[in-house]
Amino acid sequence: MTNSSLPQADSTLKPPVAERRSHRFSHHGVELDDPYHWLRDPDYPKVESSEILNHLKAENAYFEAHMAPHQPLVDALFTEIKGRQPVTEQSVPYPRGPHQYQWRYTEGAEYRSWYRAPLATPDAWQLMLDENELAKGLEFFKLGGMALSPNARYLSWSSDTDGSERFTLRIRDLDTGQDLPLSIESSYGSPVWAADNKHLFYTLVNEQWRPDKVMRHELGTDSSADVLVYQEQDEGFRVGLDQSQSDDYLMIVTGDHVTSDIKLLRSDTPKGPLVDMAPRQAGHEYSVDHREGYFYILTNDTHKNFRLVRTPEQTPGVKHWQPIIEASNEQYLTGHLAFRDHLVLTSRINGLDTIQLLQGEDHKITTLSFPEATYSVGLGSNAEYVSNKIRLGYESMVTPGTVYDYHIDTKRLELLKVQEIPSGYDADQLDTERLLVTARDGVQVPVSIVYPKNFPRDGSGKLYLYGYGAYGYAIEPGFSTSRLSLLDRGFAFAIAHIRGGDDLGYHWYEQGKLDKRTNTFNDFVDVAGHLIDAGYSRAGNIAIAGGSAGGELMGAVVNQAPKLWGAVAAHVPFVDVLCTMLDASLPLTAGEWPEWGNPITDAQAFDYIRSYSPIDQLKAGDYPPMLVTAGLNDPRVTYWEPAKYVAKLRYLKQDNNCLLLKTNMGAGHGGKSGRFDSITETAEEYAFILRCLGL
């Protein structure tokens, strides 16, 4: 199988060849050899081996040489996509206490600036934090968690400057505009202030990049005096912080992918005791909010789709939980927010996002309605505990991002903002639909698809098929300005809502994990087969893409059905599943066992993971054109996974199709930072796909 539409930059260009060095090890009586193990720097997370760095740089040079003839197309795509971004942009202000808050992009800015203004003088905006100033001279910048003290004087904020997701925490005095002489390394997540405006709670990560500690800092003291409030001993659990909508409670939230454990602390007693919401029980997931003397809890204790209960705050124990909405097979409860006078519930019914308002002591339900048959909707910035409005974010495959306020008293939606597309956009030129595809085991898999009105249905069309399918993350049928560059060139764009996500409920997630993981890959291939049979495209005319666990999906479906795909983009792909799950020293491995299985202790899990792990199932043969990306500082999918995968694939592939590896040497899991810098990578991917499909 040969695709010459993305030719080599010149006839002498040869791909880097990684040396094969035997590295043998055995588990459960099976001997394995990992000949590219040497690509993992033994000093990771430091990567200073000149041999490894030189190999990655050689791969980058090969990528650049391959793409050089197509730079005009990359530039054109970049200009198109950038042209759909407003030169300046600002969020809809939201109130909290005596101020309203807003972020802005100024002209040409890569990053946001954060402002506030007194409600009494709404035009007197004060700059709180300018990400552009903080990012000056840096290859990478990401703002982490931000939290305002209750008196609105102090802003705690954190930043990551290399993509490693190890954040440095600071505190800014908004009265002076200056940061306090405090710098706390290896923070993670959003901090939370106590009600006294003096104590700040934050999390720390350990050497394995697992957030396992909650610390308490007192203003005016050195960070060396900070007090350990909680430390998680289970290596599979990660710790985070949250705060009730009422601000009355701080919550220490620990858990893995299947179990929750929440400890409560009164915000007005920062040195008080922690109270357990419920005993830790494997498989019990729940979330908590608080209003007017009650805790409101979403829990899966009786049904995997969750139910809503409440209990007086004096008696948080499970035996006191009182049902409000019982669990059902039809409605999958996904979240809740407790205001003083009402409760908001988010859920999915038949895979469609639903927003419900619960009012009165009898919790009378009002279900909000929206103008389209299929869409994505969720809660926006709702910072006030007392409010007669609910801020919502709404979009669909053809409707740009839209901000609404739902007015509870009048039951109406107020339109506040529609995503601006300066270069123009006409939704009437597109059609969208939701299909159901019968997978090989008889299960109906939803597909969301959008395409130009003149899209052919004779199999000649080009199709971009996206999937993820892991961790119970649903891929919403949302809007993308970047996607328009493909639609404008005649593509159809489809999202396969495959098992492993929770698109259709918690059972949908369970049917794509552990010993059912291969359902995810089969679903994706079966969706592609159906779209071919229905005339949307043909084998070889389909581009596919996915990242992280979706990159694992890419590797698996390439192994299963290589002839279907005309181009593959695998971003930071989790392709070395077996070796990673066998290595408990890596940042995420222990916490991932509930998702993938523990091949160290479980021989069946070992055999099953090995049977689908993309790098382990590579064989000599023909493969489609592939673009693989990595981040040198990525703590989630370490750089050596895609590097090893590409090295092995190069060794085995028998075709002349291009195989490219691009490693971001100064970034992590999410690629480049900055709203325009990140567009470059999208433009490169699209150019790769267009050339591979002969456009």
DSSP code per residue over 120-153: TSTT--EEEEEHHHHTTT-S--EEEEEEE-TTS-
Asked if 149 is an active-site residue, the reply is no
* Angle made by CA atoms 359, 360, 366, in degrees to the nearest 5: 25
Q: State which amino acid sits at residue 662.
A: K
Q: What tokens were used for 355?
A: 């927003």
CA-based end-to-end distance of the chain: 19
What tokens appear for 76 in the block?
């054109």
Q: 158, 190, 548, 673: which one is catalytic?
A: 548
Cα–Cα distance measured from residue 585 to residue 573, given in angstroms and rounded to the nearest whole number: 20
> Out of 70, 257, 290, 669, which one is annotated catalytic?
669
What is the per-residue DSSP string for 463-530?
EEEE----TT--------TTTHHHHTTT-EEEEE--BTB-TT-HHHHHTTSGGGTHHHHHHHHHHHHH
Q: Which distant-in-sequence residues (6+ apart) come within 8 Å of 221 by Cβ?
A: none
Residue that has been written with the tokens 């299985």 in this structure: 597
> 591-621: b or e for each residue (b if 16 or more CB lie within 10 Å)?
bbbbbbbbbbeeeebbebbbebbbbbebeee
CA gap 343, 366 in Å, rounded: 11
Q: Would you call 614 helix, strand, or coil by DSSP?
A: coil
Neighbours of 39 (CB within 10 A): 24
Q: Is 548 a catalytic residue?
A: yes
**Could you confirm whether 217 is annotated as catalytic?**
no
CB 649 within 8 A of CB 5: no
Residue-level length of the chain = 695
Identify the active-site residue in 41, 160, 523, 634.
634
User: CA dihedral in degrees (454, 459, 463, 469; nearest 10)?
Assistant: 130
Residue 457 backbone phi and psi in degrees, to 5:
-120, 35
Active site residues: 548, 634, 669
